Amino acid sequence: MEPIRLDQVIGLDRYERERDEFRRRIIALKKHRRVSVGEDITFVFENRDTVFFQIQEMLRAERITDLDKVREELDCYNELIPHPGELSSTMLIEITEQEHIRERLVRLHGIEEAVRFEIGDVGVKGEFEAGRSKEDKLSAVQYVRFAFDAAARQRFVSGRDSVRLVVDHPHYQAATLLDDVVRRALADDFADGRTA
């Protein structure tokens, strides 16, 4: 997928006028790109459209119009767009009890070694963005990429094998079987050149 360019960013006034329709479209799109694994972890799979929406929302919320600052946002958010042969996700650790957040996040230390896709009997390990966890601290928002080789990609796209997203950590074990609608939505990400 191509990165989002500066000339594709919509100005704040125009975006404000088009925002409701844009939001409806992205909400519908994300419905088939969201995978809960157990009670506390959700993956939102990013593509060019979801990232474009995040950029527009950030520019709107922060009222950013300076071109250098817009470029900085583009550089940051374009990192979420999957590269060829990849799926890219935002992993959310959703702990609702405020008093238990820190304790539960500490217990999940090492989760970056515990996330994978299983396509039949083939595993594709998640690759976490560096710097989002430390010895004593784990961010509740993680960015995870899954780099598929050609054979795993073909098996994922074909639909002949079951596809599961797995978290196998000593303090959190869960797996979700992807339904066909979600699998097909994510399989589209393996094709390059989608536009916002």
Measured between alpha carbons, how far is 97 from 101 in angstroms, rounded to an integer? 7
| pLDDT score of 193 more than 50 | no
Per-residue pLDDT tens digits for 171-192? 999 999 999 999 999 999 987 5
- The strand pairing partners of 43, in sequence order, are 35, 91
Per-residue pLDDT tens digits for 82-134? 999 999 999 999 988 888 888 999 999 999 999 999 999 999 999 999 866 66
Tell me what the mean pLDDT of segment 42-57 comes to. Answer: 96
Measured between alpha carbons, how far is 144 from 89 in angstroms, rounded to an integer? 5
Instruction: Give me the residue label for tokens 């500490």.
Output: 106
Q: Write the CB contacts of 8 (distance below 8 Å, at least 6 apart in sequence).
A: 52, 196
Mean predicted lDDT score pLDDT of the chain: 92
Tell me the pTM: 0.89
Per-residue pLDDT tens digits for 61-76? 999 999 999 999 999 9
| pLDDT score of 158 more than 90 | yes
What are the backbone angles phi and psi of residue 48, rounded to the nearest 5°?
-60, -40
Q: Write the CB contacts of 92 (distance below 8 Å, at least 6 apart in sequence).
A: 41, 42, 43, 44, 140, 141
| pLDDT score of 196 more than 60 | no
| pLDDT score of 135 more than 80 | no
Task: Give how far Cα 174 sits from Cα of 41, 77, 138, 159, 190, Å.
Answer: 9, 29, 19, 22, 25
Number of other residues whose CB lies within 10 A of the CB of residue 142 = 22
Percent of the chain with pLDDT over 70: 94
In a 13 Å sphere around the CA of 63, the CA atoms on its Cβ side amount to: 0
